[in-house]
Structure 1
Amino acid sequence: MKKAYIFPGQGSQFKGMGLELYQTSDSAKALFDQANEILGFDITKIMFEGTDDELKQTNVTQPAIFLHSVILAKTSSNFSPDMVAGHSLGEFSALVSAGALSFEDGLKLVAKRADAMQKACEIRPSTMAAILGLDDATIEHICSGITDEIVVPANYNCPGQVVISGSIEGVEKACELLKSAGAKRALLLQVGGAFHSPLMEPAREELAEAIHASRFQSPLCPVYQNVNALPATDVSVIRENLIAQLTAPVRWTQSVEKMTADGATTFVECGPGKVLQGLVKKITSGAELSSI
């Protein structure tokens, strides 16, 4: 019986996130205040009082979710993972919580990642879409058959739910073909760009430099990484997988399956919302689910 802590990604933010933690824990307040200094702007004010539109800005959303997740882990009296994993951005939260990165270095990398992704989004109009009710192989086959545009599977969230990513034309074309192939729904997402696709290559190059300049340490437990759904403790492997993550798909389904195969019976979501608990429930049966 092993306990896996899982950390959410972009989209889990909400107004007021972290406020109760800030008000009830001196150690949490100190970390939030430190984050404002590191980032150079008052992110806590936006987290606690900002509008939905302000919270949706990539340069706010990513560090905000990271902060809520990591500070929850750091101030929890019983944070004792046998393994950790994070969905996209959440992988950074998982690494910091497991001691592979310092709080300061992790936050700086997340801020750099958000900035680099935003710049990549502005180079070419792009988008993402959620494909529901179709098997992975069919989605992969249809995307690979579109050669005049860029469109790839980006998030394997759970069986029957895959997000595709690419140019606007490529995603729209894929959506029509996927619906014809039997997809129950193909929903364009309200996102700023094509995350986890080749269109993030400029961001990957920029982030790679920052990751190589950051100091990593062996984590206190295995980290199941997005790019291959395998546990890693070797610093060089963790670093390279983190760099590859921006242009590679998030293999969340496969990560949960692997954690379950490796003995995880309890999954604890650490961060805003309960999105990951819902996905885990669809991936593996009988697991105990909870939040910090």
Structure 2
Amino acid sequence: MAKHAFVFPGQGAQFSGMGKNLYDAHPSVKDLFEQANEILGFRISDIMFTGSDEALKQTNITQPAIFIHSVAAFKTIEGAMPDMVAGHSLGEFSALVANGVLSFDKALQLVSIRAQAMQKACEANPSTMAAVLNLPDEKVEEICAAVQAETGEVVVAANYNCPGQLVISGSVAAIDLACIKMKEAGAKRALVLPVGGAFHSPLMEPAKAELAAAIESAVFNTPTCPVYQNTVAKAVSDPMEIKNNLINQLTGAVKWTQSVQAMVADGASEFTECGPGKVLQGLVGKIAGAAVTTNGVS
């Protein structure tokens, strides 16, 4: 039987003005934004609607902003009944609201803790990420391992976005060297990204410890449908397992390609992206050739 998957974007999808149309058009969304402002202790809605691109790039702003927008977009879909959900990195928190594992307020509190912890880890450890295009995953992994052995510094495969697009993560020196070696090996591009740190790598270990304490003490409900989690790329329904995977996600790879492939194998034929931008629409198309609709893109 054909199944409907709902997917939620992560960091990088933000833009100035995000969510304003949803706020203006739906009283329930207005209430959601005001609730978010109260939980966070500042008017994030003002930054989302009129803030500069620079302000929106700050991890401690970006993550809650994308989460709020994504949940708002999902809630405006009449009769939305996902058969399965998934989120790219941060988007996993939005997915867990959509399938009832977390309440909006609890998820936002966790996202805020995660964002602040990641910001601190970035400031303590200058590090970065780079996108590698048109090189087999195995070759990227092999070069990362060789650079780690040579330099003694961290560089790992972090985001398996789609076939031919893998993001690596690590120290600045190791990323720079890895990019040179990726190009020598035939990569079309190996491009350092404008991000604040080495997300989804061992360099996020301090943030992981902080987030783990908050997640472990939070109530996770039984989901209404499975979530395909980044670190395991398969359907998960057990709340304790969901917690562990969410904690491990900070230092583990985002297996987006593998997650979408697993969803399709389990019957997904329709995907709806909820949140700012259309990043996942493009990735799902490249992974599975599946049709994707978007909701709440501005």
* Range into which the TM-score falls when normalised by the shorter chain: over 0.9
| 2:26 corresponds to 1:25 | yes
Distance in 2 between the 1:97 and 1:57 partners?
Answer: 25
2:246 matched residue in structure 1: 242
Deviation at 1:124, TM superposition (A): 1.3
- AA aligned to 1:18 is G
2:132 matched residue in structure 1: 131
Distance in 1 between the 2:54 and 2:193 partners?
Answer: 15
Deviations along 1:82-127, whole A, 9 cap, x unmatched? 0000000000000011110011100000000000000000111100
Distance in 1 between the 2:134 and 2:76 partners?
Answer: 39
Distance in 2 between the 1:265 and 1:39 partners?
Answer: 37
Distance in 1 between the 2:237 and 2:58 partners?
Answer: 32
- AA aligned to 1:2 is K
Deviation at 1:26, TM superposition (A): 0.9
Deviation at 1:71, TM superposition (A): 1.3
Distance in 2 between the 1:69 and 1:79 partners?
Answer: 14
Structure 1 counterpart of 2:159, from 133, 144, 155 = 155
Q: Where do residues 96-175 of structure 1 align in structure 2 (5 Å cutoff)?
A: 96-146=97-147, 147=149, 148-175=152-179
- AA aligned to 2:95 is A
1:257 matched residue in structure 2: 261
**Identical-residue share of aligned pairs (%):** 62
Distance in 2 between the 1:79 and 1:174 partners?
Answer: 43
Q: Where do 5+ consecutive residues of structure 2 fail to align?
A: none
- AA aligned to 2:269 is T
Distance in 2 between the 1:78 and 1:162 partners?
Answer: 35
Deviation at 1:80, TM superposition (A): 1.2
2:64 matched residue in structure 1: 63
Q: Is the 8 A contact 2:37 2:43 kept in 1?
A: yes
2:294 matched residue in structure 1: 291
Distance in 1 between the 2:139 and 2:209 partners?
Answer: 31
Distance in 1 between the 2:59 and 2:7 partners?
Answer: 21
Q: Is the 8 A contact 2:230 2:254 kept in 1?
A: yes
Deviation at 1:213, TM superposition (A): 1.1
Distance in 2 between the 1:124 and 1:275 partners?
Answer: 28
Deviation at 1:145, TM superposition (A): 1.4
TM-score (normalizing by structure 2): 0.97
Distance in 2 between the 1:96 and 1:157 partners?
Answer: 23
Structure 2 counterpart of 1:223, from 223, 227, 231 = 227
| 2:76 corresponds to 1:72 | no
1:15 matched residue in structure 2: 16
2:196 matched residue in structure 1: 192
Q: Runs (4+) of structure 1 moved beyond 6 Å?
A: none
Q: Is the 8 A contact 2:285 2:291 kept in 1?
A: no
Distance in 2 between the 1:71 and 1:20 partners?
Answer: 11
Distance in 2 between the 1:135 and 1:13 partners?
Answer: 29
Distance in 2 between the 1:136 and 1:168 partners?
Answer: 21
Q: Where do 5+ consecutive residues of structure 1 fail to align?
A: none
Distance in 1 between the 2:53 and 2:79 partners?
Answer: 32
2:81 aligns to what SS in structure 1? coil
Deviation at 1:180, TM superposition (A): 0.7
1:88 matched residue in structure 2: 89
Structure 1 counterpart of 2:184, from 180, 183, 189 = 180
Distance in 2 between the 1:128 and 1:241 partners?
Answer: 22
Deviation at 1:75, TM superposition (A): 2.8
**Higher mean C-alpha deviation, range 145-154 or range 270-279:** 145-154
- AA aligned to 2:244 is E
Distance in 1 between the 2:107 and 2:94 partners?
Answer: 8
Deviation at 1:78, TM superposition (A): 2.7
**Higher mean C-alpha deviation, range 56-65 or range 74-83:** 74-83
Deviation at 1:153, TM superposition (A): 0.3
**Higher mean C-alpha deviation, range 245-254 or range 142-151:** 142-151
Distance in 2 between the 1:76 and 1:181 partners?
Answer: 46
